[in-house]
C-alpha cells in the first residue's frame, strides 16, 4: 500500500468498532484508501513518518481525515490530537474524534486542542452507520482540503 | 457641714438673745434697786453716780432714770456725743429688740410703790463678737474638713479607685485584643483585691473554654477537610466510574447490535422467520441496555451536577422539546393545548430534561388513545408558580403513586410501554435540587397530571 495516498486514517483499538466502521465506509465505496492503526503510538508514527513508517511515507502528504478514538492503550487519542495540532506540518490535517460516550469530559479538551469534529458513536447500528456514512461523505467528498 | 453651721448659728443667735436679755434684766434690776433712794430723795447726783457705774458694762450704750411722773431724771451715755436717742417718756416695762439694740424699761419699786422707771439700751456687739468668732471657727473647720476630705480621697483613690481603674483598663485591653491570657494585678487583700481575684478567675475560665473551643474547632475543621477530601475522592471515582460505564459498556453493546444487524443484512435470506425474530430480540434487548445506561448516567449526572440558575423562557423551551420529541407525522394525531407559560429561574439543561421526560411520557402513555390530548399550563398556588402537564392516556393506579418517582419503578409492563423506569426519578432529582416539589395525580385509564413547582429562592 502506498501510505502517501491514504485518505482516511482510522485510529481505533476496538476491532469490532473498526470492522463496523470500515464495513459502512466500504459499502459506500469510501474505504479504498483507508488505513487502520490500532493505537495512538502507531498513529503518531504513521502521521509523523517515524518508527514503523519511517522512510515509507511523507509527512506532508496528509490524509483527508483522521478518525480518532479517545480511549486507547499506550498513547490515547487526546495525546495524538495534541501532537498533531501542535506541529506546523500536520496542523491542517482534519481530525474527527470518535468516541463511545457523550459523558466524555474530554469534549471540551478536544475542541480546545483543535479537534475538527467530535462524534459520539451511538449504540444502535442504524445511527452508527448513518454517522459514519455522513462523516465519510463530508470529509472525503464535500470538504476541500488545503493544497 | 454648711447646714450644721447654719443651724448652730441659729441656735447660738437664739441663746445669745435670751442670755443678753436676762443679763440686761439682771443689771436693770440691780440698778433699779440701787436707785430707789436717789429717786425717793430726788438726789440727781446720786442717780448719776449709780448710772455711771454702768461703764463697767461696755455693751450698755445708754441708760436713763425717769421719775414717777415719767420725766427724765438722770441719764447716762457710753458715747457722750450722742444723747438724742433717749425716749421722752418711759415706755411699757420689758425688753425689746429694736434693730441693732435691745431697749429695756425696768420699774423702780419700793415696797410695791413705783418710784420711777429705768431705761437701758444695750448694743448687740457681744453677739456680733461671738458670731465673728463662730464664723472664723466655722470657716476654719470647713477648710480643715476640705483638706481632710482631700487627703482621705487621695488615700482612698490609692486603695479603691486605682485598683478599679486598673481592673477596667485590663478589661478594656482584653476586649480590644481578645487576649484572655492577660491578668489583672492584685493590689491588696481588701474587697477590691477580691474583685480582682474573681476577675482573674473568670479570665482563666474563659481562656480554658476558649482553648477547648478552639481545639474542638480545629478538630472539626480537620474532620471537615478530611471528609471533603474523601468526598472529592469518591466523587472523582464516581465520575471516572460513570465515564467507564458510558464508554466501556456501550462499546460491546454496539458490537452486539452492529453484528446482529450485519447478520440480518448479509445472512437474512438464509434464516427463517424464527431466526430473524431472534435477531430482532437480540437487537432490542441490546438497545434497551443502551438506553438504560444512558438514563442511569443522566440520573447520576443530575445528582452530582450543581444547579446553575438562569432565566428560562418556558414557552420556547416547551415548544422546542415538542418539536424534537414528536415526529411531524405524529403531531396532528395529538390534540395539544399549550397555555402561555411563565418564565422560570432554573438550570436550563436540567429543566429541559424535565420537560423532555414529562412530554415524552405524556406522548407515550396517551398514544394508545384514539384522540390523545395533552395540556400544558400553569397556575399560582400559595404564591408559587406551579406548572403541569396533563394527558388523557392510560393514567396510573393511585395505590402505587409513591412508587412513581423511584428509580426502576414502573407501573406499566415493558410490553405495553417501553421505558427504563428512571425518567421520573430524574425529574424528582432535578426538581428537588431546585428546592421545588413534583407530584402526580392520576386515575387508571383516565389520564395523568404531573405538576411541579420550583422554589423562588435562588440560593438553593
Chain A partners of B253 at a C-beta cutoff of 8 Å?
123
Per-residue confidence at A145, pLDDT binned at 50, 70, 90?
confident
Strand extents, DSSP E, chain A: 8-11, 34-37, 65-69, 95-99, 117-120
Instruction: Using alpha carbons, select from B453, B403, B413, B446 the residue that is nearest to residue B432.
Output: B453
Please check whether residue B267 lies inside any domain of the structure: no
Q: Which residue, of B96, B123, B150, is where some domain finishes?
A: B123
- How many separate helices (H) and strands (E) can be counted in chain A? 5, 5
What's the CATH code of the domain at B103? 3.30.450.20
Q: Measure in Å the smallest separation between the Cα of A70 and chain B Cα atoms.
A: 10
What span, in angstroms and rounded, lies between the C-alpha atoms of B251 and B286? 11
Please check whether residue A147 lies inside any domain of the structure: no
Strand extents, DSSP E, B79-170: 94-98, 101-110, 113-123
Query: What does the block give as the cell for A104?
Result: 466524555
Please check whether residue B228 lies inside any domain of the structure: no
- How many separate helices (H) and strands (E) can be counted in chain B? 11, 12
Chain B partners of A121 at a C-beta cutoff of 8 Å?
250, 254
Chain B partners of A16 at a C-beta cutoff of 8 Å?
251-252, 254-255, 258-259
Please check whether residue B103 lies inside any domain of the structure: yes
Mean pLDDT of A63-70: 91
Ramachandran bin of B94, using left for φ above 0, alpha for ψ from -120 to 50, beta for the remaining angles: left
Comparing B179 with A29, the larger pLDDT belongs to A29
Is A123 in Cβ contact with B261 (below 8 Å)?
Answer: no
Q: Which residue, of B93, B123, B153, is where some domain finishes?
A: B123
Chain B partners of A128 at a C-beta cutoff of 8 Å?
254, 258
As for how many domains chain B has, the answer is 2
Which one of B254, B297, B301 has the shortest CB-CB distance to A17?
Answer: B254
Selected residues 31-50 of chain A with any CB under 8 Å from a CB in chain B: none
Q: Which residue, of B102, B123, B144, is where some domain finishes?
A: B123
Is B246 in Cβ contact with A104 (below 8 Å)?
Answer: yes
Instruction: Using alpha carbons, select from A25, A11, A31 the residue that is nearest to residue A131.
Output: A25
Please check whether residue A19 lies inside any domain of the structure: yes
Please check whether residue B145 lies inside any domain of the structure: no
Contacts of B262 (CB under 8 A, 6+ apart): A20, A23
Q: What b/e string do you get for B412-438 counting C-beta neighbours within 10 Å, with b at 16 or more?
A: eeeeebebbbbbbbbbbbbbebbbbeb
Please check whether residue A68 lies inside any domain of the structure: yes
What span, in angstroms and rounded, lies between the C-alpha atoms of A62 and A69? 18
Please check whether residue B102 lies inside any domain of the structure: yes
Q: Model pTM?
A: 0.53
As for how many domains chain A has, the answer is 1
| Cβ atoms of A94 and A145 closer than 8 Å | yes
Q: Is A125 on the interface with B (CB under 8 A)?
A: yes
Which one of B253, B258, B301 has the shortest CB-CB distance to A20?
Answer: B258
Q: Is B255 on the interface with A (CB under 8 A)?
A: yes
What is the count of residue pairs from A and B with beta carbons less than 8 Å apart?
Answer: 66
What's the CATH code of the domain at A71? 3.40.50.2300
Chain B partners of A103 at a C-beta cutoff of 8 Å?
242-243, 246-247, 297, 301
Please check whether residue B381 lies inside any domain of the structure: yes
Which one of A20, A23, A123 has the shortest CB-CB distance to B253?
Answer: A123
- Helices B162-177/B191-244 angle, 10° precision: 10
pLDDT at B459: 43
Query: What does the block give as the cell for B158?
Result: 490609692
Give me the interface pTM, i.e. the ipTM. Answer: 0.78
Please check whether residue A82 lies inside any domain of the structure: yes
pLDDT at A103: 63
Comparing B240 with A130, the larger pLDDT belongs to A130
Please check whether residue A132 lies inside any domain of the structure: yes
What span, in angstroms and rounded, lies between the C-alpha atoms of A48 and A57? 9
Structural domain that includes position B25: 2-123
| Cβ atoms of B48 and B34 closer than 8 Å | no
Please check whether residue B289 lies inside any domain of the structure: no
Backbone angles phi, psi at B386, to 5 degrees: -110, 130
Q: Is the pLDDT of residue A104 over 80?
A: no
Render each residue's pLDDT in chain B as its tens digit; 460 residues: 778 778 877 887 788 778 888 888 888 888 888 888 888 888 888 888 888 888 888 778 888 888 888 888 888 887 766 666 677 778 888 888 877 778 888 888 888 888 888 888 888 777 777 778 888 988 898 899 899 999 988 887 777 777 788 888 888 888 888 888 888 777 777 777 888 888 888 888 988 998 999 999 999 999 999 999 999 888 888 777 777 777 778 888 889 999 999 999 899 899 999 999 999 999 888 888 888 888 888 887 777 778 888 899 999 999 999 888 887 776 678 888 989 999 988 889 889 999 999 999 898 888 888 888 999 999 988 888 899 999 998 888 888 888 888 877 777 776 677 777 888 888 998 998 888 999 999 888 888 999 999 876 544 4
User: Which residues make beta-bridge pairs with A36?
Assistant: A10
Please check whether residue A105 lies inside any domain of the structure: yes
| Cβ atoms of B184 and B166 closer than 8 Å | yes
Is A101 in Cβ contact with B254 (below 8 Å)?
Answer: no
What's the CATH code of the domain at B406? 3.30.565.10
Chain B partners of A14 at a C-beta cutoff of 8 Å?
251, 255
Q: Is A109 on the interface with B (CB under 8 A)?
A: no
Structural domain that includes position A84: 3-142
Amino acid at each position: 500500500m502506498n501510505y502517501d495516498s491514504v485518505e482516511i486514517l482510522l485510529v481505533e483499538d476496538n476491532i469490532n468498532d473498526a470492522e463496523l466502521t470500515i464495513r459502512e465506509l466500504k459499502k459506500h465505496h469510501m474505504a479504498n484508501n483507508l488505513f487502520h492503526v490500532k493505537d495512538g503510538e502507531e498513529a503518531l508514527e504513521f502521521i509523523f513518518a517515524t518508527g514503523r513508517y519511517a522512510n515509507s511515507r511523507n509527512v506532508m502528504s496528509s490524509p483527508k481525515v483522521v478518525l480518532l478514538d479517545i480511549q486507547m492503550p499506550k498513547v490515547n487519542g487526546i495525546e495524538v490530537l495534541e501532537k498533531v495540532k501542535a506541529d506546523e506540518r500536520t496542523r491542517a490535517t482534519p481530525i474527527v474524534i470518535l468516541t463511545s460516550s457523550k459523558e466524555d469530559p474530554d469534549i471540551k479538551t478536544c475542541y480546545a486542542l483543535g479537534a475538527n469534529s467530535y462524534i459520539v458513536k451511538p449504540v444502535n447500528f442504524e445511527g452508527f452507520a448513518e454517522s459514519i456514512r455522513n462523516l465519510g461523505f463530508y470529509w472525503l467528498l464535500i470538504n476541500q482540503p488545503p493544497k | 457641714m454648711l447646714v450644721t453651721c447654719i443651724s448652730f448659728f441659729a441656735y447660738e443667735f437664739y441663746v445669745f438673745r435670751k442670755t443678753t436679755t436676762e443679763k440686761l434684766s439682771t443689771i436693770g434690776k440691780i440698778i433699779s434697786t440701787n436707785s430707789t433712794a436717789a429717786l425717793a430723795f430726788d438726789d440727781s447726783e446720786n442717780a448719776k453716780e449709780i448710772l455711771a457705774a454702768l461703764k463697767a458694762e461696755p455693751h450698755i450704750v445708754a441708760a436713763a432714770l425717769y421719775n414717777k411722773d415719767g420725766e427724765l431724771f438722770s441719764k447716762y451715755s457710753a458715747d457722750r456725743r450722742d444723747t438724742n436717742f433717749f425716749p421722752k417718756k418711759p415706755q411699757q416695762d420689758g425688753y425689746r429688740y429694736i434693730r441693732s439694740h435691745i431697749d429695756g424699761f425696768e420699774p423702780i419699786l419700793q415696797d410695791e410703790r413705783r418710784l420711777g422707771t429705768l431705761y437701758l439700751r444695750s448694743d448687740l456687739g457681744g453677739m456680733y463678737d461671738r458670731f465673728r468668732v463662730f464664723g472664723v471657727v466655722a470657716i476654719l473647720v470647713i477648710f480643715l474638713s476640705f483638706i481632710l476630705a482631700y487627703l482621705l480621697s487621695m488615700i482612698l483613690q490609692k486603695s479603691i479607685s486605682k485598683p478599679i481603674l486598673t481592673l477596667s483598663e485590663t478589661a478594656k485591653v482584653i476586649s480590644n485584643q481578645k487576649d484572655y491570657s492577660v491578668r489583672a494585678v492584685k493590689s491588696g487583700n481588701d474587697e477590691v483585691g477580691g474583685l480582682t481575684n474573681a476577675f482573674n478567675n473568670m479570665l482563666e475560665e474563659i481562656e480554658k473554654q476558649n482553648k477547648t473551643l478552639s481545639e474542638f474547632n480545629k478538630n472539626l475543621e480537620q474532620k471537615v477537610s478530611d471528609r471533603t477530601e474523601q468526598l472529592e475522592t469518591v466523587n472523582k471515582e464516581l465520575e471516572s466510574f460513570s465515564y467507564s460505564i458510558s464508554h466501556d459498556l456501550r462499546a460491546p453493546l454496539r458490537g452486539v447490535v452492529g453484528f446482529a444487524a450485519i447478520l440480518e443484512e448479509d445472512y437474512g435470506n438464509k434464516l427463517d422467520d424464527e431466526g430473524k425474530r431472534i435477531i430482532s430480540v437480540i437487537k432490542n434487548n441490546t438497545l434497551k441496555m443502551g438506553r438504560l445506561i444512558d438514563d442511569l448516567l443522566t440520573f447520576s449526572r443530575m445528582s452530582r451536577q450543581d444547579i446553575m440558575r438562569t432565566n428560562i423562557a418556558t414557552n420556547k423551551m416547551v415548544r422546542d422539546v415538542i418539536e424534537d420529541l414528536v415526529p411531524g407525522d405524529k403531531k396532528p394525531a395529538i390534540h395539544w393545548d399549550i397555555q402561555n407559560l411563565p418564565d422560570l429561574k432554573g438550570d436550563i439543561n436540567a429543566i429541559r430534561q424535565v420537560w423532555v421526560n414529562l412530554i415524552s411520557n405524556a406522548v407515550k402513555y396517551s398514544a394508545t388513545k384514539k384522540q390523545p390530548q395533552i395540556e400544558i399550563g400553569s397556575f399560582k398556588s400559595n404564591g408559587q408558580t406551579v406548572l403541569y402537564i396533563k394527558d388523557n392516556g392510560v393514567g396510573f393506579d393511585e395505590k402505587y403513586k409513591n412508587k412513581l418517582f423511584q428509580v426502576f419503578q414502573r407501573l406499566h409492563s415493558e410490553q405495553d410501554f417501553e421505558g427504563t423506569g428512571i425518567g421520573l426519578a430524574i425529574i424528582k432529582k432535578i426538581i428537588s435540587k431546585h428546592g421545588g416539589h413534583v407530584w402526580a395525580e392520576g386515575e387508571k385509564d383516565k389520564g395523568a397530571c404531573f405538576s411541579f413547582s420550583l422554589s423562588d429562592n435562588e440560593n438553593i
